[in-house]
Amino acid sequence: MGWLLEQTGPRAARASREPLRHRPADGLRSHPLPGGRRDPVADSAGDLVERQIRAEGVTVIAERDPDAPTGLMLKERRTPALTRVSYHRAASAASRATVSDLDEDAIRAAALLHLTGITPALSDSARALTLHAARVAREAAVPVSFDLNYRSALWSRPRARDCFRTLIPLADVVFAGEDEAALALDRSPDDVPSLAEGLASMGPSEAVIKRGAKGAFARVDGRSFEQDAVRIDPIDTVGAGDAFVAGYLAERLNGVPVPERLETAVAVAAFVCLSEADWEGSPRRAEQAQLTPEDPVAR
């Protein structure tokens, strides 16, 4: 739902703190038992999310809600060409999150705060929390990244547009697909440069349009940049947009130029498309060259 990133060394960046509830599953909960023990089956999904994130070397800051479960997203492969996604987030722990759940000190200490449009779609309180997090970061001069991530199953287009138009001016970097940018701007999705320019005119210094198999277009500090996608035979495209954003932001924190950020972003997105899972296929930096190997077998 929101990630704080810190820079850990030259040309290296990692996610470090998460003041909201987890992005992959919308929250955690536990039921206390006598002696202070936690029921291991009270919220097995939340336990799994926390364990997996920690295993990736990420510091987790998460509130446990004793009265609400972790929300879920289920992915179903109906045919080789169609993946169906369903959400089970109503009354989840994340939907009950409030401004008081934020760790404002963690936000102020971060190198960057990343937010998505999924969080404010969950409830009015989650929307207020998202806006407050962005404002805390702005006041502390912490860069804010915002990925629109519109999900029609979670809220209506008018409500989403209203929220996007409030959040985009608070962001330094904004990411959107062509249809998402068109929704926020209330215009046709056909003119990609115009979409990027329109988003940038709302305040962000960097507006990045994610175009899937067509690559990406960015408007950064008044300059335009284009990047072709990596040609692959995708297995599953779910999660590619998030992977693109992760690659771009990692390189931004590393201080590399915009063309290299976009190049890394499309490479990371391509890797994720070659796995049936959402994030498990994310590459390490040394693996990027393996997208176009001269020898198909690495020995």
pLDDT in tens, 120-162: 999 999 999 999 999 999 999 999 999 999 999 999 999 999 9
Per-domain residue ranges for the chain? 94-274
Average pLDDT over residues 221-250: 94
Superfamily of domain 94-274: Ribokinase (3.40.1190.20)
Q: How many contiguous H segments (helices) and E segments (strands) does the chain have?
A: 9, 10
Rounded-to-10 torsion of CA 217, 219, 220, 224: 80
Angle between helices 192-200 and 178-185 (to 10 degrees): 50
Angle at the Cα of 229 from the Cα atoms of 80 and 220, rounded to 5 degrees:
135
Phi, psi at residue 94, to the nearest 5°? -65, -35
| Partners of 225 in the β-ladder | 218
Tokens of 150: 């519109």
User: What pLDDT, on the 0 to 100 scale, is given for residue 287?
Assistant: 86
CB neighbour class for 30 (10 Å; exposed up to 12, middle 13-18, buried from 19): middle
Helix (H, G, I), strand (E, B) or coil at 97: coil
Tokens describing residue 57 = 């070397």
Q: Read off the pLDDT band of 22 (50, 70, 90).
A: very low
Res. 278 pLDDT band, cuts 50 70 90: confident
Give the model confidence (pLDDT) of 181-195 as tens digits: 999 999 999 999 999
The strand pair at 82-88 and 72-79 is best described as antiparallel
Q: Strands 12-17 and 223-227: what pairing?
A: unpaired
- The values of phi and psi at residue 221, to 5°, are 50, 40
What would the pLDDT profile of 36-86 be if each residue is shown by its tens digit? 444 543 688 888 989 999 998 888 888 788 888 888 888 888 887 788 888
- Rounded to whole angstroms, the Cα distance separating 126 from 120 reads 5
Structure letter (DSSP) for residue 139: H
When mean pLDDT is compared across 18-22, 27-31, 113-117, 214-218, the lowest value belongs to 18-22
Q: Is the Cα torsion angle 163, 164, 168, 171 positive or negative in sign? A: positive
CA distance 118 to 23: 9
Place of tokens 């800051």: 61
Residues 83-117 pLDDT 10s: 888 888 888 889 999 999 999 999 999 999 999 99
Q: Residue 252's Cα: distance from chain center in Å?
A: 15
Determine what percent of the chain is predicted with pLDDT higher than 90: 60
Q: Which of 8-22, 71-85, 154-168, 229-243: highest mean pLDDT?
A: 154-168
Residues assigned a catalytic role: 242
> 112, 145 in Cβ contact below 8 A?
yes
pLDDT for 27 equals: 46
Q: Please state, rounded to an integer, the average pLDDT across all residues of the chain.
A: 85
Checking if the pLDDT of 18 tops 50, the result is no
Between CA 35 and CA 23 the distance in angstroms is 31
Residue 155 and residue 121 in contact, taking contact as beta carbons nearer than 8 Å = yes
